[in-house]
Structure 1
Amino acid sequence: MGASVRDQGGDGQGAADTALVTASVQGALERLATVADRDELAAIREAALGPQSPLAVLSRSIRNLDPEERPVLGRVVAEARASLTSAIEAAEARLDAAELLERAERERSDPSVGLLVEPLEGPGARHLVARARMALEDVFWRLGFEVASGPEVEDEWFNFEALNVPEHHPARAAQDSFYLDVDASPPLLLRTHTSPAQIRLMQRGTLPIYAVVPGRVYRRDTPDARHTPAFHQIEALVVDEGITFSHLKGTIEAFTTAYFGPGIHSRLRPAYFPFTEPSAEFEVTCTICGGAGCRTCSGTGWIELGGAGMVHARVLEAGGLDPGRVSGFAFGFGIDRLVQMRYGLADMRVLPENDLRLLVRTRGEV
C-alpha cells in the first residue's frame, strides 16, 4: 500500500491509524503470497477485511475525523482494500489451479478430466450479477459501510417474527416460501430476504452499525420476465444515536449518484413495510431516458428500485437494542433487477441461464 496519511499531507489521528493499517496490509500481502490451503486463506481474509480488521475500523472512523483528513483516509482505505482484494483473488486462483491439477493427476484415467483443464477460447469474466454486487459493495465501502453476511437457511424467528412480520402475513405461507423443516421449532426455511442479517448485526451488541448485506434469497415466484425463484438482494442498515429520516434520504441520494452517476437522482414515496415505520419506496431517475419519460418508466421519468424506512421499534427490541436510546434506517433492492435495468434485458430469466451470447457480449463491461 502507498505512503501513510502524514506522508500524503494529512496529520493527527489519521496518520497513526493509517500506519497501523499499512503494517497490517503489508503483513497480509506477504502471507497471501505463500498461502497453502483454503482454511489459511479464509483466516487471512477475515483478519484483513473482516468487520474487526484494522482496515474496517479505520473505514468506520473516517466520519469522526476532521474534514480535511477524510478524503486522504478515504483514498488510503480504497487503495488498501483494492490491493488486498486483488491479492486474495490471485491466491484463490492459485489454489483452484493446484486443486484442479491434483484432481487431474488422481483421475488421469478418466477421459473427461481433460475437459476440465482445457481452457475456453478467449478470456473469462465474472457474471453480470457478481460484477454488479462487487461494484455495489465498493460504493458502500467508500461511504463508510462494512460488508456483512448472514446464513441462507434461517428459522421463522429471524426471517419473520424478529422483523415484525405477523403470523398471518402471506410470506409465511408454504406456497410463498421454501420451507425446509416445518417440524423444527421454530421451522426452517430458505431466507426470503437479506433482512434477517439486521437482527444478527444488532445482536452483536456493537454500536454504531453502518453495514450493507448482499446475498441470495429465495421465494416461490413463478418465473417470468421480472421474477425468478432465486435472486440477489442488497440492503443497508444504519443504527446509531440520533439517526433520522433525513439521514436515510441523504444516504440513498449519495448511493444513487455514486453508482449511477451525477445525472441520476432519487426520490421517496410513502409505502408500508412491517419492519420499518415510516416506510417508503425509493425510485431513481430512469436510466433509459434520463428522466424525460419513456416506455420503460411508463412516461414518469422514474423507476422503482427498492424499499426503505426507519427501523421499527419492535425490530430494534428484537435485536436487543433500546429504541428510546438509538434509532436507525434500512433500505434495500434487488441486484438482478439493477442488472436488468442497466443492460436493458427484456427477461430476467436469462441471468441464471449462462447464455454465452449474453455473457460474451457484456464481458468487457463494468
Structure 2
Amino acid sequence: MLADLDAMERDALTELISASDAAAFEAFRVRWLGSSGRLREAMNGLKNVSKDEKPAVGKRLNEVKAAIEGAFNAKKDAAQSTHVGPLVDVTEPGLAMAEGARHVITKTIDEIVDVLGRMGFTVADGPELEDEWHNFNALNIPDSHPARGHADNFFLGGAVAGKLLLRTQTSTVQIRAMETMKPPLKICAIGRVYRPDAHDATHYSMFHQVEGLYIDRNVSMVDLKTTLVQFAKAFFGPEAEIRLRPSFFPFTEPSAELDMKMKIMKNGKPEWKWIELGGCGMVDPNVFKAVGIDSEEWTGF
C-alpha cells in the first residue's frame, strides 16, 4: 500500500507538469482531487488496510494528499499570475463610447411637437388609465355606442376598477384640458393609446396618436384646413398634398377624414396613393356642454 501511494504521488506530479490552462487544471482537479478522484478512492480503501499498517498508511496518505494539493494550487496560482498579452497603460486616455441612437418614435414625436409649437400649440398630458366619462361620455359617445363594448377596449377587472380602462384615444386629454383651462386655448396631445386589435403589419394593440385642439371665437373649417395644410408642408415637405373627405365622429360636427398623397412602392415601383392620416372636424356642441363651455360664444376644431 505504501508503494502504491508513492507511485500515486509521482504520477500526479508528473501529470501536473503538463497542465497549462484552465481546462487542464480542471481536468486534473477532477481526476485527482475531486469527490470521485483517485485520492478519494485511496482514502476509501484505508478501511481495508490491516490494523498494524493503518497508522503508517494513513500518515503517508495525508502526505501524498498534501503534496498533490500543494503542487496543484501553486501551479494554478502561478499560471493565473502570469501576464499574457500586451501591458495596459492605465494612464492612457480611454476610447470614447459611441452615443446611442434615439428611437424613431421619440424623434417623430419631437419633430411633430416642434412643428405644432411653431404654430402656437402647447403640449398637454393626460393619464393612460382613464374613466368612462373622459374616454366616452364627455366625447359624446353614448352608453349604447358599440365602441364602448368590452371587445373593443381594455377594461380593468373588479367591481370598482371595472369602470376604468386604458384610453383608446388621446381625445381624453382634450376633455381634461377643457375642464381645467378657459378658452381661448390651443393644445396638442401626443401619447400611447390601446385597442385590442389583431396584430399584423399595420395594427397593434398599443400605438401612438397625436391631435390638436384649438378653441376661440369664430373658428371655422377654413382654419382647420389651413392648419392641416401648413402642418403637412412643414412636416412632410413643401410638396405635400392633402384632402378632406366627409366623415362622422361623435365628438365633431362636421367631421372629415384627412388623406395625404404619398409614394407607395408597388411591384418595386413607386406609385402615388392617397393614405389616410386621421380624422378631424369642428368640436361638437355636446362636447362643449360636457365641459361647461358656451358653444354659442366659442367654436373650435
* CA RMSD, 1 decimal: 2.4
Q: Give the one of 302, 306, 310 matched to 2:282.
A: 310
Q: Which residue of structure 1 lines up, in the alignment, with residue 273 of structure 2? A: 301
1:1-366 pair list within 5 angstroms? 122-181=98-157, 183-184=159-160, 187-288=163-264, 301-329=273-301
Q: CA deviation at 1:321?
A: 0.2
Q: 1:295 to 1:317 in 2, by over 3 A?
A: farther
Aligned-residue offset at 1:185: 8.1
Relative distance call for 1:181 and 1:142 in structure 2 (3 A) is same
What's the offset of the Cα at 1:176? Answer: 1.0
How many residues end up aligned between the 2 structures?
A: 207
- Paired amino acid for 2:147: A
Query: Measured at CA, do residues 177 and 242 of structure 1 come closer, stay the same or move farther in structure 2, by a change above 3 Å?
Result: same
Aligned-residue offset at 1:186 = 8.1
Write out per-residue CA displacement over residues 170-195 of structure 1, whole angstroms, 9 at most, x where no aligned residue: 22111110001452388100000000
For residues 97-154 of structure 1, give each alpha carbon's deviation from its aligned partner in whole angstroms, at most 9, with x where no partner exists: xxxxxxxxxxxxxxxxxxxxxx997431111111101110000001111011110010
Q: Distance in 1 between matches of 2:96 and 2:196?
A: 35
Shift in CA distance, 185/218, structure 1 to aligned 2, threshold 3 Å: closer
Q: Is the partner of 1:183 in helix, strand or coil? A: coil
Rounded Cα–Cα distance in structure 2 between residues aligned with 1:194 and 1:205: 17
- The higher-RCO structure (CA 8 Å, 6+ apart) is 1
Contact 1:218 1:229 in 2 (8 A): yes
**1:258 positional shift:** 0.4
Q: Which consecutive segments of 4 or more residues in structure 1 shift more than 6 A?
A: none
Q: Flag the 1:263–1:300 CA change in 2: closer, same or farther, 3 A.
A: closer
- Checking the alignment, whether the CA contact within 8 Å between 1:286 and 1:302 is kept in structure 2 is yes
Does the residue aligned with 2:107 lie in a helix, a strand or coil?
helix
Q: Secondary structure at the match of 1:213?
A: strand
The residue identity in structure 1 corresponding to 2:210 is I
Check 1:305–1:295 CA distance in 2 against 1; reply closer, same or farther (3 A cut). Answer: farther
Instruction: Please tell me whether the aligned partners of residues 157 and 186 of structure 1 are also in contact (alpha carbons under 8 angstroms).
Output: no
SS for the counterpart of 2:222 is: helix
Q: Where does the alignment leave 5 or more consecutive residues of structure 2 unmatched?
A: 1-94
Structure of higher CA gyration radius: 2
1:197-224: per-residue Cα shift (whole Å, max 9, x none)?
A: 1111111132211111000000111111
Distance, in Å, in 1 between the alignment partners of 2:250 and 2:104 is: 32
Q: Which runs of 5 or more structure 1 residues have no equivalent in the other structure?
A: 1-118, 330-366
Residue identity opposite 1:322 in structure 2: D
| Superposed displacement of residue 311, structure 1 | 0.5
Partner Cα distance (1:280, 1:310) in 2: 9
Question: What is the letter of the counterpart of residue 312 of structure 1?
Answer: D
Equivalence for 1:6: none
SS of match in other structure, 1:281 = strand
Amino-acid identity (%):
46
Deviation at 1:161, TM superposition (A): 0.5
Query: Distance in 1 between the 2:233 and 2:208 partners?
Result: 22
What's the CA shift string for 1:273-305, capped at 9, x where partnerless? 11101000001121448xxxx679x96632111
Distance 1:326 1:186 in 2: 35
Distance in structure 2 (CA, Å) of the matches to 1:120 and 1:270: 56
Q: TM-score, normalised by structure 1?
A: 0.53
